Amino acid sequence: MKIVFTSGFKNVWILSLSCALAGSIIPLMVLVGSLVGADLAPSVALATAPIALMISGTALAVVPVSRSMQALGRKKALWLFMGLGILGCALAILSLQLQSFIMFCLTSVLLGTTNTALLQTRFIAMESVAIEHSATAASVVMAGGIIAAFVGPELAVMGSNLTQVGYQGSFLLAAVCIGTAATVLSLFEPPKITATTIENTPASAATLLRNPSFCLVLASGVSAYVIMSFVMTGTPISMHHFHAHSLSDTKWVIQSHIAAMFLPSFVAPLLFRHFKIRGMMILGLVCYCAAIVIGFSDTSVIGFWLQLVLLGVGWNFLFVAGTSLLPSTHLQNDRFKAQAINDFTVFSFQAVAALSAGWAINLISWQQMLLSCLIPICLMVAVLIWEALSGTQTATMES
């Protein structure tokens, strides 16, 4: 691990800090988005629409962001989308002033697009170091998510009453934070990448979907994001509006949840060596089941906290396991198609889950919402069993 403190990792640390600062807008939106939505939406069932649209914006921007980075270069493209994030914050301030729900929803899409660009920083970090250190570089950048997990909600609370209109100051502080991130990024020196030629003979989507292991990857990613997004998006409304917990307590729970999504990455390699990929998937499902049990029986602040921490850990295990399995489920020439199918599927289902959370929390109880999460868990277990019985498990990097 001494390698991370060498000059060769300078770019990685710059990317990590810059991404952590700019990425703080996402946990800020997780905390504030549904609360603002509940105030501005014409129907309380649409309260979580801003979160769903932010996730949809993340998914829809994958191709434009990739092409922008190819045309402009990584650094200039990141600056461009950070500027779009600042524009989104300005639009949020204006939408709150005008009490415009539609304008706030547009803000969410813009911030989702910025998030897409920030998600690329882990790949940029991997390009900045020798191939044997790429996994370490990605981990360092992902660790920035822990900083974002605390900075974002803190900005939300600090700025909530900064002006006469609630939460305007939150987005003002977020814009300053993104501007600071862009300044930090100016220290980044793009690495020189040697171009390679890759034969392009992609398989059809139907061919990929006939592979049980590829379906398991999709099931793992969808289960991870659907349950996490469904519960996380509904938590601020449930805690603050329905169970009368303070905004400060709600902020603490969301901060802890997002930190729990990233902290397990530091010990995940050790767990993978012991439990293997599919074992980690099962551990993730166990964490989700434990979160449901706790959330069903305890709606105190501590109950919400423990539930959301387990939710974050379960997401990490399922997401990392699915990501680790993906490369072994297709040929090298099919990786772009496989990744596109995986990302589009996961983010599409996540957007539906986030949008339906607002509808569900006003139609059924919090406990019934949690019980409904057993449906994707059961489907995930079914896919695990199907893949095991198919006898076509692909060789995976489980060491």
The whole-number pLDDT of residue 112 equals 93
Q: Which residue has the higher pLDDT, 20 or 262?
A: 20
The CB-side HSE value for 188 (13 A sphere, CA atoms) comes to 30
Average the pLDDT over 156-167 and give the result. Answer: 89
Mean pLDDT of 237-259: 86
54-87: string of b/e by CB count within 10 Å (b at 16+)? bbbbbbbbbeebbebbeeeebeebbbbbbebbbb
Rounded mean pLDDT, 49-67: 83
Question: What pLDDT does 253 receive?
Answer: 92
pLDDT for 100 equals 94
Average pLDDT, the chain: 84
* Per-residue pLDDT at 398 exceeds 60: no
pLDDT tens column, 306-328: 999 999 999 988 987 887 787 77
What is the identity of the amino acid at 358? G
Q: What are phi and psi of 393, to 5 degrees?
A: -60, 130
Give the type of residue at 65.
Answer: V
Structure tokens belonging to residue 120: 């690329």
With beta carbons less than 8 A apart as the criterion, state whether 126 and 137 touch.
yes
What pLDDT was estimated at residue 399? 35
Cβ count near 378 (within 10 Å): 11
8 Å CB contact between 284 and 157: no
pLDDT of the residue at 160: 87
pLDDT at residue number 330: 77
pLDDT of the residue at 65: 82
Residue 190 has pLDDT above 50, yes or no: yes
Which pLDDT belongs to residue 195?
Answer: 45
- For residues 118 and 63, the answer to whether their CB atoms sit within 8 Å is no
Contact 285, 223 (CB under 8 A): yes
Statement: residue 352 has pLDDT above 70: yes
Element (H, E) at 361: helix 335-363
Give me the mean pLDDT over the 106-125 stretch: 87
Give CA 79 to chain center in angstroms.
21
pTM value > 0.95: no
**303's tokens:** 């109950």
Q: Dump the DSSP string for 63-126.
A: HHHHHHHHHH-HHHHHHHHHHHHHHHHHHHHHHHHHT-HHHHHHHHHHHHHHHHHHHTHHHHHH
pLDDT of residue 254: 86
Cα end-to-end distance, the chain, whole Å: 19
Contact 104, 40 (CB under 8 A): yes
CA atoms within a 13 Å half-sphere pointing along the CA-CB vector of 284: 36
Residue 110: pLDDT over 90: yes
Q: Which of the pair, 197 or 334, is modelled with greater confidence?
A: 334
Segment 275-303 mean pLDDT = 93
Burial class (CB in 10 A: 0-12, 13-18, 19+), 153: buried
What pLDDT, on the 0 to 100 scale, is given for residue 136?
67
Tens digits of residue pLDDT in 10-50: 888 899 999 999 999 998 998 888 889 888 988 877 877 88
* pLDDT attached to residue 8: 65
Query: Can you state the angle between helices 247-262 and 212-236, rounded to 10 degrees?
Result: 160
pLDDT for 226 equals 94
pLDDT, position 328:
79
Find how far residue 104's CA is from the centre of its chain: 20
* High-pLDDT (> 70) share of the chain, %: 89
